[in-house]
Structure 1
Amino acid sequence: MPDVILRKISRVIEEIFHEGGPVPAKSLKRAAVMAVIKNPFAGRYEPDIQPFMEDLKPLGLSMAEKLVEMLGGADQIEGYGKAALIGADGELEHGALWHAPGGYAMRELLDGSNAIVPSTKKVGGVGARLDVPITHINASYVRSHFDSMEVGLNDAPRADEMMLVLVMTTGARIHNRAGGLAAADIKGEDGLR
């Protein structure tokens, strides 16, 4: 398989203090790391693309490590998500290659994270934006942590590139009050509840 050719990495961190209501005791931090790489399959149909997932694993781990550092350590992380934005000469399936390398990298660094890492992917042009879904790291049904973070770069992805994204958060949405399973009530048996 071809090497991963990295053009750039971008890091973004948001700190949210309130959404119009009272200021909570603790702010919410959301962070994203975006890697823009050359799409080795751009412009052609390649039947066997799965081996490229192995090539992406070191990049996924490096990105996850950056996120943990940005947010103050693995013990601070409560939510996560991943995404891929594929340039116009690629196909949606190329973004699906990010599922395992991106998801497993985050779960490897976050002890006990049982929930599937939510994801999205799309084909888009330079400057396209993408909403990355976020859920709780241990139980997908924790409604307070259903969130998203919009990401994008003004010069990516070029037609022959992919932008791979990992997102982590330090908590629930500010002012969450939609009910459902509370993080304190997670049983941790199946990644759902």
Structure 2
Amino acid sequence: MGVVVQLSVRKRISHREVVSSENGRPVDGLVIAWFAVVIENPFPAEYVADLVTLADAVGEELGDLVGPPCVELLGAEVEAFGKAALVGIDGEVEHGSALIHNLRFGNRFRAAAGGDTLLPAAEKVGLPGQSIDVPIKHKLDATTRSHHQTVTLMIPDAPRPREIVVAAVAASGGRPLARLATFGAEVA
């Protein structure tokens, strides 16, 4: 018999931006979106050795809470993606890691985005309003340099001490005006 856990969501936050120019040059409508939920930390305040059982129990639900809404918010085909967990100060960074480094979570976002590669991630403990820089990479080929970038997200009143912000990030393309050599070209 599996663990049954009800996630407690305080709020959902969506952010979408369209980049039209960079360094005085036009950009063909790069869209970047992130969707986050602020949840009550489902892990006990005291140390517990097994975080995996609970993370498995909530992984699909949590993935569904942020992955498909992020893709929908983007409103374009996803080319790059990433994920993040920002844990309030009465929690452990490992709590956030357990939630987002879980295939039950990640596969929901990957499926919605049409991706099949590793979801780059950021996780840390922070105060309300703390920013977190989320790495994103190409959804099919993590060596596609044009898509390596970070997206900063911040929620003014989160995470509170017993909360975790869990976010999915997506982009419709790579960096504006990307022009680096292909992966490995400098050593060829």
Same fold (TM over 0.5): yes
Equivalent-residue separation in structure 2 for 1:48 and 1:62 (angstroms): 24
Q: CA deviation at 1:99?
A: 1.7
The aligned counterpart of 2:96 is 95
Give per-residue Cα distances to partners, 1:104-127, cap 9 Å, x unaligned: 11112233x222000010011111
CA contact (8 A) 1:102 1:166 kept: no
> What is the Cα-based RMSD across aligned positions, in Å?
1.5
CA distance in 2 between counterparts of 1:162 and 1:69 reads 23
For residues 78-93 of structure 1, the aligned pairs below 5 Å read: 78-93=79-94
Inter-partner Cα distance in structure 2 for 1:120 and 1:133: 7
TM-score where L is the length of structure 1:
0.86
In the alignment, what sits opposite 1:28?
Answer: 30
The structural deviation recorded for 1:89 is: 0.7
AA in 2 matched with 1:105: R
Moved more, 128-137 or 97-106: 97-106
- Is the aligned partner of 1:5 residue 2:39? no
Q: How many residue pairs get matched?
A: 177
Residue 42 of structure 1: how far off its partner (Å): 4.9
Closer/same/farther in 2, CA of residues 67 and 119 from structure 1, 3 Å limit: same
TM-score of the superposed pair, with normalisation by structure 2:
0.88
CA deviation after TM superposition for structure 1 residue 172, in Å: 0.9
User: Are 2:179 and 1:177 aligned?
Assistant: yes
Match of 2:67 among 64, 77, 84: 64
Kept after mapping to 1: 8 A contact 2:68/2:113: no
1:17-166 equivalent positions in 2, closer than 5 A? 17-24=20-27, 26-53=28-55, 54-73=57-76, 76-97=77-98, 98-100=100-102, 101-111=104-114, 113-166=115-168
Q: 2: distance between equivalents of 1:37 and 1:11? A: 15
SS in 2 for 1:4: coil
Within 1, Cα distance between the matches of 2:61 and 2:45?
Answer: 25
1:185 aligned partner: none
Task: Give the aligned partner of residue 191 of structure 1.
Answer: none
Q: Which residue of 1 aligns with 2:17?
A: 14
Cα contact 1:42–1:89 (8 A) shared by 2? no
Deviation at residue 180 of structure 1 after TM alignment:
1.1
Q: Is the 8 A contact 2:17 2:31 kept in 1?
A: yes
**Structure 2 gap segments, 5+ residues each:** 184-188
Unaligned runs of 5+ in 1: 182-193
User: 1:60-112, CA deviations, whole angstroms, 9 ceiling, x for partnerless residues?
Assistant: 12321111211225xx110000010001011111011212244211112233x
